[in-house]
A = this chain, B = another copy of it.
Amino acid sequence: MTTDRSAGRVRLKDVADLAGVSMKTVSNVVHDYEHVSAAMRTKVQSAIDELGYRPNLTARRLATGKTGMIALAIPEIDQFYFAEMARYIGEEAGRHGYRILVEQTLNDVEAERAVIRDREEGLVDGVIFHPARIDTLEIARLRPGTPLVLLGEAARPLNTDHVMIDNTRAARDGVEMLLRAGRTRIAFLATVRGDITESTHLRLLGYQEALLAAGLELDPRLVLQSDGFSIEDGVRALASAVESGVAFDAVLCRDDLFAMAALRALGQAGLRVPADVSVLGWDDTAVARYSTPALSSISPDKRALAATAFALLEDRMQGYDGIGRHEIVPHSIAERATT
């Protein structure tokens, strides 16, 4: 057995020559094509083994026009939520013979535009994109030739497929759970200065709807404001509410990070969780399981999100070219120790 890895790579042609057959026959063996005689299969296979042949994927792609890859464009791979989505989408794609190319947009508008503008032309068969900055109009305008499915609530152009959970409904569910547990002064942490995404808004809306539906009055002082997305910003937002004397017995947080901020701020203020104040996070990321006390969190069904997004994309990759489909995926509430 000669496995020559040093010299120029072994080509399909080399195998064909050694086995004394045509290239197509080798190709057939490689692809387990059914109409190949057993003898031929054996002969070719041993030539393959002898030379250590391995198909060149790039050439295959050029010939077939299929790359077997999809791009996953997300703001930051090291944010828990996106990392988890990357995992699930990667697994789902893998099950269907696709692999994923992770593209970080790092919240940069230009990077997001590049994603929409067939940036990956001929590199991937489709794109799953969670936009953060770019808006609906622009996506519709730059409408790419490559199959595209959108995630998140930032942008929802009519002509593009889109998957999300019902944020408003989920927020309502969360508040109702808190209400059932006897909490009546529920704060929302937090609207963020300069936040141009839709998520917070939708969640806040659900929060308000639930309160009104329960016959409670909306107290604007309970809708906290944060100067930014960092944990320190969140801590400050909650701490200053406590200092200013606003009373509350529960906090619905726009994401798990702010929930961690709430835990810290409440701890520093000497308030016990959940005895004095319940805390409910959002996204049910790993950090919710790791924190002390373990964080209750609104839990989008991430696997369903991944599976649905992939299914829609696969549909497009197989030629569907109709109007945008907008799918709502289930959510639940992971109850742990903070409520």
Residues facing B in A103-127 (CB within 8 A) are 103-104, 106, 118, 120-123
CB pair B78–A122 under 8 Å, yes or no, is no
Q: What separation, in Å, do the CA atoms of A100 and B145 have in the docked complex? A: 23
B residues less than 8 Å from A100 (CB atoms): 101-102
0 or 1 for each of A134-150: is its CB under 8 Å from B? (1 = yes): 00000000011100000
Per a CB cutoff under 8 Å, which of B54, B77, B286, B289 touches A86? B77
Contact of A280 with B by CB under 8 A = no
Contact of A206 with B by CB under 8 A = no
0 or 1 for each of A56-74: is its CB under 8 Å from B? (1 = yes): 1111011000010100000
Per a CB cutoff under 8 Å, which of B83, B90, B99, B145 touches A9? B145
Q: How far is the CB of A82 from chain B (nearest CB, A)?
A: 8
B residues less than 8 Å from A104 (CB atoms): 87, 90-91, 94
B residues less than 8 Å from A101 (CB atoms): 69, 99-102
Binds B, one of A28-36, A186-194, A240-248, A259-267: A259-267
Contact of A55 with B by CB under 8 A = yes
Shortest Cβ distance from A5 into B: residue: B145
0 or 1 for each of A15-26: is its CB under 8 Å from B? (1 = yes): 000000000000
Contact of A287 with B by CB under 8 A = yes
CB pair B287–A287 under 8 Å, yes or no, is yes
**Contacts from A to B (Cβ < 8 Å):** 5, 9, 54-59, 61-62, 67, 69, 76-78, 80, 83-84, 86-87, 90-91, 94, 99-104, 106, 118, 120-123, 143-145, 231, 257, 260, 263-264, 267, 286-287, 289-294
Shortest Cβ distance from A119 into B: residue: B54
CB pair A292–B260 under 8 Å, yes or no, is yes
Per a CB cutoff under 8 Å, which of B56, B102, B257, B287 touches A102? B102
B residues less than 8 Å from A257 (CB atoms): 290
